[in-house]
Amino acid sequence: MVRKFFGTDGIRGRVGDEPLTAEFALRLASAAARVLAPEGGSVVIGKDTRLSGYMFESALEAGFVAAGMDVLLLGPIPTPGIAYLTQALQADAGVVISASHNLYYDNGIKFFDRDGRKLSDDVESEIEKCLLAPPVTRESEQLGRASRVDSAGDQYQWFCLGTVPTGFRLNDIKIVFDGAHGAGYKVGPRALAELGADVVPIGCSPNGRNINDGCGATEPELLQMTVKGVSADLGIALDGDGDRVIMVDHTGNLVDGDQLLYVIANSRHNDKSLVGPVVGTLMSNLGLEKALEARGIPFVRAAVGDRYVREMLQNQGGQLGGESSGHIIDLEKTTTGDGLVTALQILAIMTKTGRSLAELVEDMPMYPQTLINVRTAAKIDLAASASIRAAIEKAEQQLADRGRVLLRASGTEPVIRVMVEGENATEVTSLAEQLAESVRQAAAG
């Protein structure tokens, strides 16, 4: 079945446009209840800080309660916290109301199963089939109940702190924490302060409309400036729903997901605790692959999307994988990407080795990489376009074995992502611009 609503990370779009309406959210809850808990049960619902979260929370609550499921409302909490609490509270499903790194006028809905894992394509297809039927309203005695879990943030915070070694402290370490005005704005600073860090919070004053706006993992310039301005040891930036992290070293240089993945993988390799291959994606920097190869660490690439990284880890018997964007999946610690847990693992490695973040990543040279997002009015079949295929072949011939070319359609936006990487930055940028122009011309017809 071709899925109409679910993309690579749940359902996402502009609030008020189909399918991101209150009416659809109610129907979606009813359909999900039939698939995930046909005999009734419980579901946890969490959200980020978007104004529209209240609307979708109420609509989902109504749909689940009408279908006979008890609803546990977590309030604003990072996506990985919802995954954790789905298991900890022994719920049958978890629901996240968030559009991740998008701005406030977008929102989205995604699900976890009872084990805190994202749903498979097949299960999402089953939910879509059930959307064709009208919502269920059970008899009064069969309706579910709704209640708020006021301790949700505290429970998730203690889970995060439980992923670092006993006795681990961050005394005398100054950290700038950027919460993207999103779901991690409370738990992040509190967890770091609990460990003794001197925390300088930015992006931690959500108003419903400022999530990801000029801050967070997708716009880290403010974090870089602040780290240097206050002479901090490092900076940590989450995205709006807290499942990805980007860090900044003491000099203000960015440390992305590929570099963070390398630091954790190399540390565990040295400890002889690394299990299976490290999994990246088609977008992972070639420098990561080369650095891991030099240390004898197997590396494989999955399709873009943290859910596909997780599937590859399961298939390959691995535990550690991630994306350049900062989605790091560490199955030894969590069931899904967790920005705060990842940051804590890096901090633990810094403390253990006595090395700064800048020193930990110096053994992994990054290949120059240019990514251009080409917005299109309609979908383009990249494989069917002769002009685009010809442009790709020309670029690949020029790079030979000195780099890579990748074009792919976004799973969440009407965008074609053009990526070129290689040894020479000028050449990489030029080729990326040529390929982007070929996509624009193909889109124009």
Amino acid identity for residue 436 in this structure: A
Burial letters for 344-363: b for 16+ Cβ neighbours within 10 Å, e otherwise? bbbbbbbbeeeeebeebbee
d(CA 389, CA 394): 9
What six digits make up the tokens of 183?
């779901």
Annotated active-site residue in 30, 42, 100, 324: 100
Q: Among residues 284, 294, 220, 219, which one has the least CA distance to residue 258?
A: 284
Quick count: other Cβ atoms within 10 Å of Cβ 300?
A: 18
CA 205 to the chain's CA centroid: 21
Q: What is the residue type of 128?
A: E
Yes or no: say if 98 and 83 are a contact pair by the CB < 8 Å rule: no
Helices (H) and strands (E) in the chain, counts: 14, 18
What distance in Å separates the CA atoms of residue 99 and residue 109, rounded to the nearest whole number?
A: 8
Token pair 């509190």: residue: 190
**How are beta strands 234-238 and 245-248 bridged, if at all?**
antiparallel
Q: CA-based Rg of the chain, rounded to a whole angstrom?
A: 22
The DSSP result for 109-130, as a single string, is EEEEETTS-BPPHHHHHHHHHH
Written as six digits, the tokens of 426 are 């000028």
Alpha helix segments (H runs only) across 5-52: 22-36
CA distance 384 to 315: 31
Contact 94, 111 (CB under 8 A): yes
Residues 326, 244: contact at Cβ < 8 Å? yes
Tell me the H-state helices in 272-364: 286-294, 306-316, 339-353, 357-361
Residue 114 has a CB neighbour count (10 Å cut-off) of 17
* Catalytic (active site) residue 30: no
Catalytic annotation, residues = 100
